[in-house]
């Protein structure tokens, strides 16, 4: 499941090598315990965890079934999660995830609504209140509608997009962040990563997927995936089912 501000996975989670990712990672094992090891070799076991962005870690022992939610750290939600001040020790990650134990976790997550409810309640438990962007300016609604089609072909610079919707570049940046809850550039990156994964799932090579999604080459695509999620594109493509989550209710 992918949304404009987060990506989520439900399934088996195996051992990993040490890695880091730019996203916050919320972990909830529903079958078995996870063993997490931090950069200093400290080990902690648990069924929940909040792993902060850009923090080296590895999974020593996985779980038969777990949900993973990756949250962009630069958006509204990510900025609130930063206020938790989770440290670099694995025991701190497990402790920070304790509120997630109070979130009912359904056996199956079938629809986009199921995922949205789970992620939103998880975030509420962690930050103490609902997080929602502000009112959406009509120009931002138009921009969000046209952006997916501009990913493959077209200029997605802030100046070009601002001209497209009749705003100054500075005004566009401010309105987008306050309306959607994430700055424009990270939002475009999420769209590119999603488009690349869809292409990869449809049988495209890594190089073809990179070009379709607007990356310069397969190395650029792989680096973006590993930086954001700590995973290769092929690993994400195997485990993710894409369901659209709208960043706002469609205009009537």
Q: Give the tens place of pLDDT for each residue, 99-118.
A: 999 998 876 666 777 878 88
The model's pLDDT over 40-94, given as tens digits with 9 standing for 90+, comes to 999 999 999 999 998 999 999 989 888 888 888 877 788 889 889 899 999 999 9
Q: Helix, strand or coil for residue 110?
A: coil
Q: What is the mean pLDDT of residues 171-194?
A: 86
- What is d(CA 125, CA 13) in angstroms, rounded to the nearest whole number? 23
Quote the DSSP letter at residue 240.
Answer: -
Give the pairing type, strands 48-51 and 57-61.
unpaired
116 phi, psi to nearest 5 deg:
-60, -45
Q: Who's near 219: CB < 8 A, 6+ residues apart? A: none
pLDDT above 70: percentage of residues in the chain: 87
Maximum Cα–Cα distance for the chain, whole Å?
54
Q: Who's near 244: CB < 8 A, 6+ residues apart? A: 112
pTM: 0.76
Residue 30 tokens, joined:
């529903």
Alpha-carbon torsion angle 102, 114, 23, 101, nearest 10: 10
165 closest CA partner among 182, 184, 193: 184
- What is d(CA 148, CA 195) in angstroms, rounded to the nearest whole number? 8
Which structural domains are found in the chain, ordered by start?
A: 6-127 (2.60.120.10), 138-239 (1.10.10.60)
């Amino acid at each position: 499941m992918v949304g404009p501000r987060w990506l989520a996975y439900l399934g088996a989670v195996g051992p990993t090598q040490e890695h880091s990712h730019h996203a916050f990672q919320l972990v909830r094992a529903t079958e078995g315990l996870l063993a997490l090891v931090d950069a200093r070799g400290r080990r902690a076991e648990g069924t929940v965890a909040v792993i902060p962005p850009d923090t080296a870690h590895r999974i020593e022992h996985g779980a038969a079934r777990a949900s993973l939610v990756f949250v962009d750290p630069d958006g509204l939600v990510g900025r609130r999660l930063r206020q938790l001040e989770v440290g670099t020790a694995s025991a701190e990650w497990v402790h920070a995830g304790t509120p997630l134990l109070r979130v009912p976790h359904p056996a199956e997550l079938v629809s986009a609504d199921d995922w949205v409810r789970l992620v939103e309640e998880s975030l509420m438990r962690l930050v103490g209140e609902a997080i929602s962007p502000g009112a959406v300016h009509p120009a931002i609604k138009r921009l969000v509608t046209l952006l997916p089609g501009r990913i493959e072909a077209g200029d997605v610079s802030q100046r070009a997009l601002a001209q497209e919707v009749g705003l100054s570049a500075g005004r566009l940046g401010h309105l987008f962040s306050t309306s959607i809850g994430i700055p424009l550039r990270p939002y475009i990156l999420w769209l590119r990563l999603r488009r690349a994964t869809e292409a990869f799932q449809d049988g495209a090579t890594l190089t073809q997927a990179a070009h379709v999604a607007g990356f310069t080459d397969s190395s650029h695509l792989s680096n973006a995936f590993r930086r954001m999620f700590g995973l290769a594109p092929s690993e994400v493509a195997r485990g993710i089912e894409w369901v659209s989550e709208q960043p706002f209710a469609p205009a009537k």
